[in-house]
Amino acid sequence: MWMAILKREMLEYLKSTKFLIGLAVVLTLVALSTLINAADYAQRHQDYLDAHHTRLPLDGFGYMRVAYRRPQILGVFVQGKDRELGDQIHACGDSVTTEPMGFMGYWSQNQRFRAGFAAIDFAFVVRVVMSLLVIFLAYDCVSQERVQGTLRLMMANALSRGHLLWGKFFGGLVVILGMLTLAVLVAALIIVLHPALTADASLLASLAILWGLSALYLTVFFGLSVMLSTWLNSPATSLLSLLQIWVVLVVIWPHAGIVLAQRIIPIPDTRERDQRKEDRVSDYTRQYRQAHAVPSDPNEKRLYERQLERRCDELRRQVDLDYSRQQTRQVQFAQRLALLSSPILYDRIAQRLARTDSAEFDRFLRSAERFWTEHHWGDGRVRGEEEPPEFVYQDQTLGAALGPTLPHWGILFLLGAACFAAAHTVFMKRDID
């Protein structure tokens, strides 16, 4: 009987107009966004290779060196902040820039052009479109049967309430996961067949993990829909309630968290930061000159000035690093505010998986700093070599990237389980009339 319920549920979903419309929308969006993002990635990757290998005087002059950041291939599916993290950072003397830069430095227009136009990628389709579709598919799975009286008839059979709910839950879930699988397969196929991209085992493994994450995320919305469907009598009421919850979860909560974090943990503007640098440097210079007399010997004087300049560079860099830490604190606070919002958790894990989050930039920066410290003297000259070896950024392994996100997977799982447990409890206790 349990299996009969499951099969019937699956057939009902598959035959419905809403499922067919939803499937067509999802597959079209996934195919188009993957195609466009893949072409964009291919161009950016080509630029990276050209910049890395051509060794034009673009690499700087004097003691300036440039470290290039490779775009992430998984950015095709989860663009995250990949574009905003810049293409390069500069190292000069004792300082390494702490902010991302485009190939055009201050002239960079790309980010500006993108203002007001968000990325559409696989993660976006799952987070916004598919979550909405799941609500449409499941909002009336119990309430409709209650209204029509078929629930009462079904319960007259030798079937426990628990089994009935499990049958409905798994029937719907199989259909939703089937649709998700199709979407992932379409995306994977485009990547495999794209002439400019190479799909290796690691990329396909990442896609499989992205499928698992998306499945977990959609299960939360499915659980929520089943819960409200068992709780509320009218399908229309449950649909409207679910839509309003969706608006709060997907549109308002992420927004509010960021706005609150920006106001509660403000970050000084560039002018204030420059002033802070100037104050520290002038204080230090005054103390230094008071403590050490300027030598009369020209060579010693040059060394004296050089030491002072190095210390000042270090102080300026300290201010930049403080600022960078403040930025990270602000982001972490916003993330804490949104810890129970499933769309934000989904985004966070997906961006970590794709290495397109801001943590990726911090890692790139640390890596470039280490390289620069190892290969240069304080005055910018390269240690023991005419030219330093090429800087090559090693990508984080999949395991290392996903490790810190395990608690978030746990929270997503708990949210889904809590919704289903609530649905189960309500269904067991409620009168079916």
The residues in 126-165 that bind other proteins, with binding defined as CB under 8 A, are 128-129, 132, 136, 140
Near other proteins in 314-333, by CB under 8 A: 327-328, 330-331
Give the chain's radius of gyration (CA, Å).
28
Rounded to 5°, angle at Cα 100 from 99 and 101: 120
Residue with smaller CB distance to other proteins, 37 or 214:
37
Task: Give the tokens for residue 264.
Answer: 């509660």
Q: Which string of x and - marks every residue 367-406 that binds other proteins (by CB under 8 A)? A: ----------------------------------------
Smallest gap from residue 18 Cβ to other proteins (A) = 5
Binding-site member from 15, 17, 297, 299 for other proteins (CB under 8 A): 17
Residue with smaller CB distance to other proteins, 116 or 384:
116
Q: Which of 170, 133, 127, 167 is nearest to 20 (CA)?
A: 133
Smallest gap from residue 108 Cβ to other proteins (A) = 6
| Cα separation, 70 vs 114, whole angstroms | 20
Residue 2 main-chain phi, psi, to 5 deg: -60, -45
Near other proteins in 40-59, by CB under 8 A: 40, 43-44, 47, 50-51, 54, 56-58
| Cα separation, 328 vs 265, whole angstroms | 11
Q: Which string of x and - marks every residue 355-374 that binds other proteins (by CB under 8 A)? A: ---x--x-------------
Residue with smaller CB distance to other proteins, 204 or 236:
236
Q: Give kind and range of the element (H or E) at residue 385.
A: none
304 binds other proteins (CB under 8 A): no
252 binds other proteins (CB under 8 A): yes
Residue with smaller CB distance to other proteins, 37 or 424:
37
Near other proteins in 84-123, by CB under 8 A: 84-85, 87, 99-100, 102-120
| Cα separation, 356 vs 78, whole angstroms | 7
36 binds other proteins (CB under 8 A): yes
Binding-site member from 53, 152, 255, 306 for other proteins (CB under 8 A): 255
Q: How many separate helices (H) and strands (E) can be counted in the chain?
A: 17, 3
236 binds other proteins (CB under 8 A): yes
Residue with smaller CB distance to other proteins, 191 or 359:
359
Residue 381 main-chain phi, psi, to 5 deg: -70, 150
287 binds other proteins (CB under 8 A): no
Task: Give the tokens for residue 121.
Answer: 């990628």
Spell out the long-range contacts of 24-29 with Cβ–Cβ below 8 A and sequence spacing 24 or more. Answer: 25/129, 25/133, 26/125, 26/129, 26/130, 26/133, 26/179, 26/183, 27/182, 27/183, 27/186, 29/120, 29/125, 29/129
Residue with smaller CB distance to other proteins, 211 or 323:
323
First to last CA, the chain: 22
- Please say whether the dihedral angle defined by the alpha carbons of residues 391, 397, 403 and 404, taken in this order, is positive or negative: positive
Smallest gap from residue 102 Cβ to other proteins (A) = 5
